[in-house]
A and B are shown apart, each in its own frame.
Chain A
């Protein structure tokens, strides 16, 4: 055993963990990412069991697409926008190499703007489970904040965007007359938000509510809790407070 190597190993453990803690403290020093009170519609409680008492909430968000065929790709995430975001869009969409080329373009970690109870949600007629809609994507978070200054309505987080070439109609199962470039928002990160013990006790008595198919026109069950969440200097979230809503008493 070499003592210096053991010490170096201990330093690696300490530095790695310290880096995470310091990064979190810096993140929580400011809230440029936004500050909003969400409910169970946007933050779904994951199952809590006797074997695992850690409480995590799953962030649920939507995208407004023009047609069901868009496969979750927002209409505004088009070729012009993708080029602006730095994706390699040099190959024309009608080129014989277009399919291979856009299949090879990798996804990218970008900043996404989540709008709470905005126009996109209103246009959907409130039919979607979540009121958070991704309305914009960018490489520069500050520029996005200048564009969307309302921190109580527009949240900025990190998200993974993957471009693709839409050249077939799924519904009609035939090639599209005019292929087009689009992109999917694969995830908004982190997907799970941890609720610390100081707030999680409020949620301990509640059961996980699974997604169940609803009849047309049937209203979603009322949310049982609301959670105030902030997105910090690194655009990573944390829970500020949790409170129960009247529906919680009925469901217990």
Chain B
């Protein structure tokens, strides 16, 4: 068997392995369906890339298939794609993919328009509704949206539409609880953050929604911050300008994947780490600019510099951890935070005592230095992967 035979053999073996995996217990549960939908789409994308590369190879005469091999390969790929389309609604061609994106965009705009219409209609008739009707509307709209989400998910409607409905459920709950507190003249309570956070996390796990998980985790982190603030006698709305209250929640979020040992589905580990890192780094950034609020004793400039250095180290740590885990998202987040902290540090050290042109010149030189470091890092990584 030549090169072509080996390639076809590998494709066929790979195909049948994936195929068995993808077709195992179809419709077993929604959890499996969502993961399978994603896998199916990835598979369809891989096949498209494989076809394009094969065409290039044939053009460069690096690989030539016999007519028989070509026919068998095409038949097989067509069969796999047809099955992926039939079972999981995967987009199997570029035009189909583009139309799907357009449909998603239109449905997002349509969903937003429906939501705005409902909100504005309620606002328009709000004054005429008796209190019982107002409370009922505010309670039942999120519940109806939740039921619709569960119904769509149960009927295996495309994941995107389930995501839209789940997002609408969360938003309706936030708006509803807020409005209920307003019409009953309640003093704002931080425990609303707990309710919203818990709901978002439950929706995320029920329907495999990473965006909702991220929102829920940030809300829960904010709730723990308000608990710490109220325990120290502060008014809970004071927490937004005080980073120190968010550090504990951020550390806990980042540690969850290590504690759960990868038992999360839908790539939720990344969401936990990303949210933990983002909240922690933003908290450090706030502290590095307003250390007088958290540590009034020692000289403010010294404390701020310490927080800036801690931010630099931590963001470098996030980059390192992202590289180890092979997560581009963490690497990008850490790199963006590193550059921000570096700018804050340099601004704090140099801005006041040097001419502005010199400051920006040094900033540019620092960027060049960083590029050299990243280049060396990339070379080392390439060398390691080749080895």
Contacts and interface: CB of A to CB of B under 8 A. Distances in A.
A36 interface: no
Nearest to A104: B296
Interface string A91-126: 000000100110110111100000000000000000
Contacts of B292: 100, 103-104
Given A1-B206, A106-B235, A197-B130, A16 B154 contact: no
Contact of A1 (B31, B120, B124, B297): B31
B144 to A, nearest CB: 11
B5 interface: no
Contact of A51 (B120, B138, B294): B120
B212 to A, nearest CB: 10
Given A52-B124, A54-B123, A197-B129, A5 B188 contact: no
Contacts of B207: 1
A10 B229 CA distance: 29
Nearest to A109: B235
A70 interface: no
Interface string B196-219: 001100110111000000000000
B127 interface: yes
A51 to B, nearest CB: 6
Contacts of A79: none
B139 A13 contact: yes
A106 B294 CA distance: 10
B31 A12 contact: no
Contact of B185 (A3, A6, A15, A193): A193
B293 A14 contact: no
Nearest to A160: B235
A250 interface: no
A236 B293 contact: no
Interface stretch (B76-84, B97-105, B176-184): B176-184
Contacts, number: 158
B354 interface: no
B130 A53 contact: no
A55 B127 contact: yes
A9 B202 contact: yes
Interface residues of B, number: 62
A22 to B, nearest CB: 11
B29 interface: yes
Given A9-B206, A20-B186, 16 more contacts: A2-B29, A6-B146, A9-B169, A10-B143, A12-B199, A13-B142, A17-B176, A20-B177, A48-B127, A51-B120, A86-B233, A106-B233, A106-B242, A190-B186, A197-B127, A204-B127
24 contacts: A5-B206, A6-B150, A9-B169, A13-B146, A16-B192, A17-B135, A17-B176, A20-B177, A20-B181, A52-B127, A53-B125, A97-B296, A97-B297, A100-B300, A103-B292, A103-B296, A189-B188, A190-B186, A192-B185, A196-B130, A197-B128, A197-B131, A204-B127, A236-B185
Interface of B: 29-31, 120, 123-131, 135, 138-139, 142-143, 146, 149-150, 153-154, 169, 173, 176-177, 180-188, 191-192, 195, 198-199, 202-203, 205-207, 229, 232-238, 242, 292-297, 300
